[in-house]
Structures are given as structure tokens and as C-alpha cells.
């Protein structure tokens, strides 16, 4: 990293050794020189800094009854140029210890060194450590410098024994102190002027991890954490050299000079390295506390609860099911990540290691299951952020999305943005999850949010270059060409609404017409509107406020009126092959190839065929990814696209038998679903509330009801049952699950076959469906 051959770590080691020799000489002199000689040779001979000092008379062998112990940065051998010396003089009750201390401390002060000192017996040191967290941490990592080593061993052993015996209380204090530092100093990886020592992800977090490890409740920091720690020490060392003082905060005007001292190209290269180190430390710090909580928190829930195919919850973490190998399933890594985010649980370290080491390359273009898992992961909102960070730390993301490397840890270096580019992108996607009810394509909203600033990894206008990169990534993950075009347009124009709303005259028709021309469709407009809100929220308080939100909303309203000529989607119709099924009449069920087709007389359709069939599928642990219901003459045809929740699909013959029983009115599926609902644990992840919208003028023969909700087992059954309770007949339906979001449209009529016109009845239907979803 540096141009010279000598590393700062070696400089620190040599300086600590020099100081140790100097202090040993001082202690021997302090113990051996007669009382009254304080101001003579001992002081005058040691005014210079420790390196190259005149050692004077050593004063004999090892002093008895005293020990000089280094704590803090000197104790760890990490003394930066501007660091103070933290020393403890231990003694066994020696009566002249005050004289020895005076003769020891004064030459250190005369040499110009900063000094933090104390004089203790072993018992006193242990008593102070029991009540003072800082003293305990210092003595846990104390290092013997000179004098009687047995005193040092006794003090350190006594403090360590007390630390371990009272681990629950002491670690609680340690965590509280770390949280206080993080709140006061922020997160090192995302700060313009980070505090290298006290910020979250800084030096003290690594030292706290070492203290947790000393309590025997979690492993010591691993190689990546230690490497990050060494980088932080080197940056701090260079900062002390540049400023000629013991500063820990890396301010803007000193970043280029510090980068130069470290042999880095410029301040941006330095801050990118710091961001990576800070995130590595913060990630390991969180993992340390999870390990401590598992050990100190009492018994964990036993057993394994399936979450997805090949993925289970075990001991409060998301693990791989027994016998599952990532080597043959490239989608497993995303499926596990989505399951963890949707459940609000961390990925088990062993699972992450196995997935990172064994997962084969993802096919290009991605299979639909991988794309769905990505959208489900992003759709978990805030719960997606730590899971995404876990994948990033394991090196998975850059293998799935190679273009991610260009924005990884890239600093923004302006006060408006509070995150690095890559963290801003996942934060925007998390914020966009709260707006998936506002758009017709929640999957494209989440993907666009993840990629909207990806162009910042390339030179030039990031909106233009980002559109090109987004097009390539959209193609890579298997989006259809029409969706790729929408994604590219949204990324290219992601700043259009906020910039126009705050910089142009919205009363000028030319302004609105140009926005409408750039947007092109209401679908893109609603995506841009939701993305603007999410982007502003993820950027920081200076980027989004009520004034800007009102201006953007006004611009969206005006632009929507220009684009209002778009027609609503038509009701589903029967394809030729499904129409041939309807011509035969009667009842039929076809199961196979991930599809289930149900044919029945329309009178049974009126009685709730759609939702009863959906209930059978849910009872057999089949997830409805899409469904379409239509009728021809007196026959209804419903086609479901299904996948098993996990494991193998059910026996087709058993599934078909239950569907036939439902058609015959001989199977009550409600009790089966009720039993299953009672066995399910409530979700830990908050999701946006469901939305039920009755669309006017979307159909002349039926009332169109759009239902937007977070997908869960039996959702379609709940919706359909609510329609049945309201006395409605579903004439046609189009059901789609995008990631973890259900976007369902139903064409309904009352028992007389008419659309719903009564305001009271319309409100009752809306409230009934919302109640069923909640």
C-alpha cells in the first residue's frame, strides 16, 4: 500500500519495543536510586523521546514487589505517533511505592510523552475493574513491561476470571457502550469525516470483539476483521504523522495528505478502502453479538421449520436443510437470502460459507425462480439490508452481478448522501418496498431502485451510463425485452421528476408535455414517482422534505392527466386450447408441469370455484405464482401456475382427487387451512398494508377490483372467501405474484350479474376484503 518498504505496523512494533526498554530502565532506576535523587540524572538523562535515549545505569536486576504494566494502545503494541502512554504500576504492598511512582512518572513527563497512569495492588486493580468498564478492558489486554511478572499474571488472571464469571452483566455494559459510541459518532463506512476509533466499525469495535472473545462466548475476530483493523491502525498512524498530533477524526482537508502517506492515489481511494474496512468490522461485530446472545440467551427453539425449498429456520437463524447441497442448485443462494429477509432472520454463518464456496455460477439469463427470489429479497424492506450485506461480505453479490463491483464501497463524498453508492442502492430498494402498492409492477420498482445509481461506477452522466448498465443487468437476470426497456427508461430518468418539480415552472404546459414525452406511459410515471420518494428517503434529510414531495406529487398529477388516454387492461379471455376444454362442459381437472387447470360449470364458478380451488392448493403447500380465470358460455376455466413452497410437489393424483371433491361440494377446505394457519409463526418483518381498489370505468359489464398485498399461504383463498361472503361472483381474474407481492385483479358482479354501483355496497366489499387480508 505504501511506497516505502517499511510498514507502519513494523514501525509500531519497533517503537513499542523501544519504549518497553526505556520504561524498564526507568523502573529499575526508580527502584534502585536512593530517595532524594529525583531531580538529577534520572530526569535529565531521559528528556528525549524513547527512540535512541541515553539508557543510564540500569539499576540492577528485576525490581521486586512491583510490576509495570502497559494497557491501551501500548499494551496492544499499537502505539500511534500521537498516542499517550497508558501505564499501571502494580505492587504487593511495598511501602515505598509512592516514591517509586514519582521517580517513574516524572521522567516520562519530562520526555514530553502524554501519560495516563495509576498505582494499584492486584486486589485494588481487580476491584476497580469490577466497577469500571474501561479499566477492565485495559487489564484484559494488559501486557507486562518490567518488574515482577507474577504480579502482572495475577492481576490479569483475576480480572479475566471476574470478566468471565460475570459475563452477562459485563457484556451488557460493553454493548451499551458500543451503542452509545455508534449513536454519537455514526458509522465509519458512511461518514465524510469518520472517527477512526469510536465510530461504528472503528478500532474500538474490534477491541470490543476481543473482549467478548475473552469471555469465551464468541470467537475472536477472524482474518478479514484483523486485516481491516490493521488498515484502520495504518490510517490513524498516517493521520498522526500528517497532523503532528493525536487526532482520530479524519477530516476532509487532511484526506489527500493521508492518502499520499499511505501510497494511495487520492482521497477517494482512501475513503473507499476505509468504507470496506469499516463495513467488514461492523459486520463481524454484529456476528459476534449474535454468537454471544445465542450462548447467553438461554435455550434456543428446537427443531427445524421449513422456510423455502432447501431452506429451514434453526436456532433463530436461516440454515440449509439436511442433505441439501448448493453445488447442484445455483438458485439456492438467492432463495435462502429471500427466505431470511422475509422471515426477518440472519443467515447462519455455516450456510453463508457453504453457499459462497459451493454455489455454481448462475445461468445467464437467470431462471425465473432466481429473479423471483431477488425480488422477494428486496421486497422484504429493511429486513433485506442485513441479508444483502451478508451476501456482499461473502463475495456472493459480485459473482451474481459482476457490475456491482464498480459501485461497491464507492464513497459519495458530499454532505447530501449519507451512504456509499452500493449501500445507498440497497437502502433505496428497501425504502421502495413500502411503495409497492402504488405501482402496477412492484418487481420493476424494486429492481430499478436497486440499480438507479449503478452508473456512478462509470465516468460520465450516471443516469445515461446507468441506463446502459441497467439494460445489461436486466437482460442478464432474464427480464423480458419489454420489461428491460421499462427498466432502462426508469433508470435513465430517475431524476426527472424531482429535478423538474424543483427547477421548472409546472404551470407551463411545455414543462408537463416534455415530462410526459420522456416518461411515455403511466406505468413508467408511477414507477418514477415511487422511486423518487424512495431515493430521497435513502439519500438523507437534505435530499427530501415535504416541500419537494408536494412539488413532485403535483408534477405527477399533471403528467398523469396528459397520459390519461391509456386504456385499462381488458378482462382475461380464453385461449384456444382452454376454449376447447370449455366446449366439452362438465367438470375436469388437469395437474402437471407446474400447472393446474380446473374446468367446471359456471354455476359452480359463481359459488366460489376460484377461491375453493386456491384453498386446496394452499392446503397442499402449493404457491400460486399466477392464475387466470375466464368463462365461455356456461363453463368456467381456471388455470393456476404453481410451485411447491418447499420440498417435492404433492402427489398429482391426491391433489386432483381433492380438487374433484371441491368441485362436487364434498370437501370443506377451511378447517385444513385453519389448522395450518395456527401452526405458522407470525412474521417478524413489517410489510406495507394491503390495498383494495375498485377501478371505475375499467369494464362496462363488471366491477374491477384490484388487490395488492404481501403474498402468504392461502391469500387467494382469503380474498375469494371475502367475495363470497359479500355475495359476489368472480367472472374473470388475473392473479400474479411478483417476488413476494401479490397483484390480483378480479372482475366481479353481484348475484344478479350486474356491476357494483351502490356506494355502501362498494365500501362494504372493500372493508370485507381488507379484513380478510389482515
Burial label for 458, CB within 10 Å (0-12, 13-18, 19+), is middle
Question: Residue 46 — pLDDT band, cuts 50, 70, 90?
Answer: very low
Report the percentage of the chain scoring pLDDT > 70.
89
Most confident of 28-32, 303-307, 390-394: 390-394
Give the pLDDT confidence score for residue 41 in this predicted structure: 32
Q: Is the pLDDT of residue 369 over 70?
A: yes
Q: Is the pLDDT of residue 58 over 50?
A: no
For the CA atoms of 147, 149, 154, 155, the dihedral, rounded to the nearest 10 degrees, stands at 50
The more confident residue out of 200 and 246 is: 200
Give the pLDDT confidence score for residue 40 in this predicted structure: 34
Q: Is the pLDDT of residue 571 over 70?
A: no
* Alpha-carbon span 391 to 422, nearest angstrom: 13
Of 631, 614, 613, 635, nearest to 623 by C-alpha is: 614
Give the pLDDT confidence score for residue 652 in this predicted structure: 82
Question: Residue 586 — pLDDT band, cuts 50, 70, 90?
Answer: low
Pick the range with the lowest mean pLDDT from 352-361, 412-421, 491-500, 608-617. 608-617
Give the pLDDT confidence score for residue 300 in this predicted structure: 63
Q: Is the pLDDT of residue 54 over 50?
A: no
**Beta strands at 622-632 and 143-147: parallel, antiparallel or unpaired:** unpaired
> Cell numbers at residue 317, please?
437463524
> Cell numbers at residue 132, please?
469500571
The more confident residue out of 668 and 499 is: 499
Mind spelling out the 3-state secondary structure of 148-204?
CHHHHHHHHHHHHHHHHHCHHHHHHHHHHHHHHHHHHHCEHHHCCCCECCCCECCHH
Q: What is the mean pLDDT of residues 442-454?
A: 97
Provide the residue count of the chain. Answer: 774
Give the pLDDT confidence score for residue 158 in this predicted structure: 95
Q: CA-CA distances (angstroms) from residue 137 to 127, 129, 131, 134, 232?
A: 13, 8, 11, 5, 20
> Cell numbers at residue 677, please?
394457519
Q: Is the pLDDT of residue 73 over 70?
A: yes
Q: What is the mean pLDDT of residues 406-426?
A: 91
Q: What is the mean pLDDT of residues 726-734?
A: 85
Give the pLDDT confidence score for residue 47 in this predicted structure: 38
Give the pLDDT confidence score for residue 583 in this predicted structure: 59
Residue 120, strand partner residues: 90
**Element holding 116 (H helix, E strand):** strand 115-121
Those residues whose C-beta lies under 8 Å from the C-beta of residue 351, and which sit 6 or more positions away, are: 317, 318, 319, 320, 336
Helix axes 546-562, 509-519, angle to 10 degrees: 80
- Neighbouring CB atoms inside 10 A of 136's CB total 24
* Alpha-carbon span 707 to 606, nearest angstrom: 19
Give per-residue burial for 364-390: e unless 16+ CB within 10 Å, then b. Answer: eebeebbbbbbbbbbbbbebbbbbbbb
Q: What is the mean pLDDT of residues 267-285?
A: 96
Question: Residue 136 — pLDDT band, cuts 50, 70, 90?
Answer: very high
Q: Is the pLDDT of residue 334 over 90?
A: yes
Report the percentage of the chain scoring pLDDT > 90.
59
* Alpha-carbon span 321 to 647, nearest angstrom: 10
* Alpha-carbon span 645 to 700, nearest angstrom: 38
The more confident residue out of 298 and 717 is: 717
Q: Is the pLDDT of residue 82 over 70?
A: yes
Pick the range with the lowest mean pLDDT from 145-154, 531-540, 652-661. 652-661
Question: Residue 107 — pLDDT band, cuts 50, 70, 90?
Answer: very high
* Alpha-carbon span 651 to 680, nearest angstrom: 23
Give the pLDDT confidence score for residue 675 in this predicted structure: 76
Asked if 201 and 209 count as a contact pair (C-beta separation under 8 A), the reply is no
Give the pLDDT confidence score for residue 577 in this predicted structure: 65
Q: Is the dihedral of CA 516, 518, 523, 527 positive or negative?
A: negative
Mapped onto helix, strand or coil, the DSSP state of residue 87 is strand
Give the pLDDT confidence score for residue 37 in this predicted structure: 36
Give the pLDDT confidence score for residue 641 in this predicted structure: 84
Residue 600, strand partner residues: 636
Question: Residue 36 — pLDDT band, cuts 50, 70, 90?
Answer: very low
* Alpha-carbon span 73 to 249, nearest angstrom: 17
Pick the range with the lowest mean pLDDT from 258-267, 279-288, 631-640. 631-640
> Cell numbers at residue 3, please?
511506497
Q: Is the pLDDT of residue 96 over 50?
A: yes
Q: What is the mean pLDDT of residues 348-357?
A: 95
- Correct CATH for 8-165 of 3.30.460, 3.40.190, 3.30.310, 3.40.50: 3.30.460
Give the pLDDT confidence score for residue 48 in this predicted structure: 47
Mapped onto helix, strand or coil, the DSSP state of residue 329 is coil
Side-chain half-sphere exposure of 160, counting CA atoms within 13 A: 14
Q: Please tell me the pTM assigned to this model.
A: 0.84
The one-character DSSP state at 36 is T
* Alpha-carbon span 371 to 738, nearest angstrom: 9
Residue 706, strand partner residues: 693, 745
Pick the range with the lowest mean pLDDT from 47-56, 355-364, 497-506, 597-606. 47-56
CATH no. for 168-296 = 1.20.120.330
Give the pLDDT confidence score for residue 333 in this predicted structure: 97
pLDDT tens across 456-484, in order?
Answer: 999 999 999 999 999 999 999 999 999 99
Give the pLDDT confidence score for residue 362 in this predicted structure: 97
DSSP assignment of 502-530: HHS-TTSHHHHHHHHHHH-SHHHHHHHHH
**Element holding 103 (H helix, E strand):** helix 97-110
Asked if 535 and 452 count as a contact pair (C-beta separation under 8 A), the reply is yes
Q: What is the mean pLDDT of residues 83-108?
A: 94
Mean pLDDT over all residues of the chain?
Answer: 87
Of 638, 658, 648, nearest to 716 by C-alpha is: 638
Give the pLDDT confidence score for residue 310 in this predicted structure: 93
Q: What is the mean pLDDT of residues 202-208?
A: 97
Mind spelling out the 3-state secondary structure of 700-726?
CCCEEEEEEEECCCCHHHHHHHHHHHC
Asked if 558 and 448 count as a contact pair (C-beta separation under 8 A), the reply is no
Q: Is the pLDDT of residue 53 over 70?
A: no
Give the pLDDT confidence score for residue 407 in this predicted structure: 96
Of 323, 320, 325, 324, nearest to 337 by C-alpha is: 320
pLDDT tens across 161-190, in order?
Answer: 999 999 999 999 999 999 999 999 999 999
Give the pLDDT confidence score for residue 569 in this predicted structure: 56
Amino acid at each position: 500500500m505504501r511506497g516505502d518498504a517499511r510498514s507502519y505496523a513494523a514501525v509500531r512494533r519497533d517503537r513499542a519495543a523501544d519504549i518497553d526498554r526505556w520504561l524498564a530502565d526507568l523502573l529499575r532506576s526508580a527502584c534502585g536510586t536512593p530517595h532524594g535523587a529525583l531531580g538529577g540524572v534520572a530526569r535529565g538523562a531521559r528528556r528525549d523521546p524513547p527512540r535512541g535515549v541515553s539508557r543510564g545505569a540500569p539499576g540492577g536486576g528485576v525490581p521486586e514487589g512491583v510490576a509495570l504494566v502497559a494497557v491501551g494502545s501500548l499494551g496492544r503494541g499499537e502505539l500511534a505517533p500521537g498516542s499517550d502512554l497508558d501505564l499501571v504500576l502494580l505492587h504487593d504492598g511495598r511501602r515505598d511505592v509512592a516514591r517509586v511512582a514519582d521517580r517513574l512518572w516524572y521522567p516520562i513527563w519530562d520526555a514530553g510523552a502524554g501519560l495516563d497512569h495509576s498505582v494499584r495492588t492486584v486486589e485494588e486493580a481487580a476491584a476497580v475493574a469490577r466497577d469500571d468498564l474501561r479499566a477492565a478492558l485495559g487489564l484484559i489486554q494488559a501486557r507486562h513491561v518490567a518488574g515482577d511478572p507474577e504480579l502482572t499474571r495475577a492481576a490479569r488472571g483475576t480480572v479475566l476470571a471476574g470478566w468471565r464469571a460475570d459475563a452477562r452483566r459485563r457484556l451488557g455494559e460493553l454493548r451499551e457502550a458500543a451503542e452509545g459510541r455508534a449513536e454519537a459518532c455514526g458509522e465509519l463506512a458512511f461518514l465524510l469525516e469518520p472517527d477512526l476509533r469510536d465510530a461504528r466499525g472503528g478500532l474500538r469495535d474490534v477491541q470490543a470483539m476481543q473482549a467478548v472473545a475473552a469471555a469465551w462466548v464468541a470467537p475472536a475476530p477472524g482474518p478479514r476483521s484483523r486485516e481491516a483493523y490493521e488498515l484502520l491502525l495504518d490510517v490513524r498512524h498516517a493521520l498522526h504523522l500528517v497532523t503532528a498530533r493525536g487526532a482520530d477524526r479524519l477530516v476532509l482537508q487532511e484526506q489527500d495528505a493521508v492518502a499520499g502517506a499511505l501510497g494511495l492515489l487520492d482521497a477517494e481511494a482512501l475513503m473507499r478502502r476505509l468504507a470496506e474496512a469499516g463495513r467488514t468490522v461492523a459486520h463481524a461485530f454484529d456476528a459476534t453479538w449474535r454468537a454471544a446472545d445465542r450462548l447467553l440467551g438461554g435455550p434456543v427453539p428446537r427443531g427445524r421449520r421449513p422456510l423455502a425449498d432447501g431452506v429451514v429456520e434453526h436456532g433463530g437463524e436461516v440454515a440449509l436443510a439436511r442433505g441439501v447441497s448448493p453445488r447442484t442448485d445455483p438458485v439456492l443462494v438467492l432463495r435462502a437470502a429471500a427466505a431470511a429477509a422475509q422471515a426477518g432472520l440472519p443467515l447462519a454463518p455455516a450456510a453463508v460459507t457453504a453457499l459462497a464456496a459451493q454455489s455454481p455460477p448462475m445461468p445467464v439469463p437467470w431462471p425465473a425462480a432466481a429473479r423471483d427470489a431477488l425480488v422477494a429479497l428486496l421486497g422484504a424492506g429493511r429486513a433485506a439490508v442485513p441479508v444483502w450485506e451478508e451476501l456482499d461480505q461473502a463475495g456472493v453479490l459480485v459473482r451474481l452481478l459482476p457490475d456491482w463491483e464498480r459501485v461497491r464501497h464507492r464513497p459519495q463524498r458530499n454532505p447530501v448522501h449519507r451512504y456509499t453508492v452500493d449501500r445507498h442502492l440497497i437502502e433505496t430498494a428497501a425504502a421502495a418496498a413500502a411503495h409497492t402498492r402504488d405501482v402496477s409492477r412492484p418487481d420493476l420498482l424494486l429492481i430499478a431502485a436497486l440499480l438507479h445509481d449503478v452508473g456512478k461506477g462509470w465516468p460520465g452522466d450516471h443516469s445515461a451510463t446507468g441506463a446502459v448498465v441497467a439494460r445489461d443487468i436486466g437482460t442478464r437476470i432474464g427480464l423480458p425485452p419489454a420489461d428491460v426497456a421499462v427498466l432502462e427508461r426508469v433508470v435513465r430518468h430517475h431524476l426527472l421528476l424531482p429535478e423538474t418539480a424543483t427547477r421548472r415552472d409546472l404551470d407551463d404546459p411545455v414543462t408537463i408535455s416534455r415530462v410526459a414525452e420522456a416518461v411515455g406511459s403511466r406505468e413508467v410515471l408511477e414507477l418514477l414517482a415511487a422511486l423518487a420518494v424512495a431515493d430521497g428517503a435513502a439519500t438523507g434529510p437534505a435530499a427530501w422534505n415535504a416541500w419537494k414531495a408536494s412539488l413532485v406529487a403535483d408534477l405527477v398529477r399533471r403528467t398523469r392527466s396528459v397520459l390519461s388516454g391509456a386504456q385499462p387492461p381488458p378482462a382475461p379471455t380464453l385461449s384456444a386450447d382452454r376454449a376447447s376444454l370449455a366446449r366439452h362442459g362438465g367438470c375436469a381437472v388437469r395437474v402437471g408441469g407446474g400447472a393446474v387447470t380446473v374446468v367446471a360449470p359456471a354455476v359452480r364458478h359463481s359459488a366460489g370455484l376460484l377461491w375453493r380451488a386456491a384453498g386446496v392448493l394452499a392446503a397442499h403447500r402449493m404457491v400460486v405464482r399466477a392464475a387466470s380465470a375466464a368463462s365461455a358460455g356456461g363453463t368456467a376455466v381456471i388455470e393456476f401456475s404453481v410451485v411447491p413452497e418447499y420440498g417435492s410437489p404433492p402427489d398429482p393424483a391426491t391433489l386432483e382427487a381433492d380438487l374433484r371433491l371441491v368441485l362436487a361440494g364434498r370437501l370443506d377446505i377451511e378447517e385444513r387451512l385453519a389448522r395450518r394457519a395456527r401452526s405458522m409463526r407470525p412474521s417478524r418483518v413489517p410489510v406495507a398494508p394491503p390495498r383494495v381498489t375498485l377501478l371505475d370505468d375499467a369494464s362496462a359489464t363488471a366491477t374491477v377490483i384490484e388487490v395488492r398485498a404481501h403474498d402468504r399461504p392461502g391469500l387467494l383463498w382469503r380474498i375469494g372467501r371475502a367475495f363470497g361472503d359479500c355475495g359476489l361472483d368472480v367472472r374473470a381474474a388475473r392473479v400474479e405474484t411478483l417476488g413476494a407481492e401479490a397483484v390480483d385483479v378480479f372482475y366481479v358482479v353481484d348475484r344478479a350479474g350486474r356491476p357494483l354501483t351502490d356506494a355502501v355496497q362498494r365500501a362494504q366489499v372493500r372493508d370485507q376484503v381488507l379484513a380478510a387480508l389482515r
